[in-house]
Chains A and B, each alone.
Chain A
Amino acid sequence: MKLKYFAWVRERIGMAEETIEPPATVRTVEELIAWLSGRGEAYAYAFEKPKVIRAAIDHAHVRPDAAIAGAREIAFFPPMTGG
């Protein structure tokens, strides 16, 4: 699946997007965040406060307990500040 990062999440991780294959044991958005956090310092820094991170699956906002099965694109970003 493709992961996309925006705003300071993108800056902390150091890239805008990547393609990953998480293990089958990673079933939800919060489990994906925990798994990503173990991939290195940059990820751990980006996801240091998981409650602040918002996620979207295939362009729709989702909660941390949302299942990631079948997702094509998962995005992580801080709370929105447009308008």
Chain B
Amino acid sequence: MTSPVTTCPVTIRIQDDDFDIAREIAVLTKSRTDIGAVVSFSGICRADEDSSKISALTLEHYPGMAEDEIKRHVDEAVSRWPLNGVTIIHRVGRFMPGQNIVLVLTASQHRKAAFEAAEFLMDYLKTSAPFWKKEESATGTGWVEAQARDDEAAARWTRS
């Protein structure tokens, strides 16, 4: 008789290389029978930003702080929801439209915690993890400006 597994393995990677969502889910759920739900979010480089056509996107990060900041929010997510596993992979480098940028996987016994934790993590990734995007288009290159709507999305998780 084995007791239920309640550990929460956490994987955080910042890498140039692409990721395989199916493989990452398989790694997260391997030999586990306590996971009832895995939510995956993947962020993909888009070809349009408002009215302009994007030809490429370059992502820069602050090595060390980026991992620390993601870990801090994963720890908070684990304290707020009954999670059984979290994987976050953020790519850096230069990307073409259609290529993967970020992956968030959250595993839990039930879907609600997995959905909420994935949203929480993405909202904080966008507003507090030190990554910056630079766009290339026919008119030149420019740094992407932070959006107020992303701050608003993150603010809804603030506990009073």
- How many interface residues does chain B have, given as a range? 20 to 34
- Beta-carbon contact of B102 and A83 below 8 Å: yes
| Given A59-B64, A82-B125, also A6-B130 (CB < 8 A) | yes
Q: Does B6 contact A (CB under 8 A)?
A: no
Interchain pairs with CB closer than 8 A, number: 73
Q: Note all chain A residues with C-beta closer than 8 A to B29.
A: none
Known A-B contacts A4-B62, A6-B60; the reply to A80 vs B130 at CB < 8 A is: yes
B133 on interface, CB distance cutoff 8 Å = yes
Q: A6-B62, A7-B143, A59-B68 are in contact. Are A83 and B126 (CB under 8 A)?
A: yes
Q: How far is the CA of A79 from the CA of B145 in the complex (A)?
A: 8
A64 at the interface (CB under 8 A from B): no
The reply on A77 being an interface residue by CB < 8 A is yes
A9 to chain B, nearest CB (A): 10
Chain A contact residue count (CB 8 A cutoff): 16
Render B54-69 as a binary contact track against A, CB cut-off 8 A, 1 for contact. 0000011110111011
Least CB separation from A79: chain B residue: B146
A residues near B118, Cβ cutoff 8 Å: none
On whether A82 and B102 interact (CB within 8 A), knowing A7-B134, A77-B62, the answer reads yes
Closest to B41 in A: A83
User: Which label, helix, strand, loop or mixed, suits the secondary structure of the B interface?
Assistant: mixed
A13 within 8 A of B: no
Known: A59-B68, A77-B132. A82 touches B61 (CB 8 A): yes
One digit per residue, 1 when the CB lies within 8 angstroms of any chain A CB and 0 when it does not, for chain B 114-156 equals 0000000010011111111110000000011111001000000
**Contact pick for B65, options A7, A8, A56, CB 8 Å:** A56
A22-70 contacts to B (CB < 8 Å): 56, 59-61
| Chain B residue nearest in CB terms to A11 | B143
Complex CA–CA separation, A81 to B60 (angstroms): 10
Q: Are B129 and A82 in contact, CB atoms less than 8 angstroms apart?
A: yes
* Residue in A8, A56, A79 whose beta carbon sits within 8 Å of that of B62 in the complex: A56
- Say whether A83 contacts B122, CB under 8 Å: yes
Q: How far is the CA of A59 from the CA of B128 in the complex (A)?
A: 11
Q: Please give 6 more A-B residue pairs, beta carbons under 8 A apart, in addition to A6-B60, A81-B143, A83-B90.
A: A4-B62, A56-B130, A75-B62, A80-B126, A83-B102, A83-B150
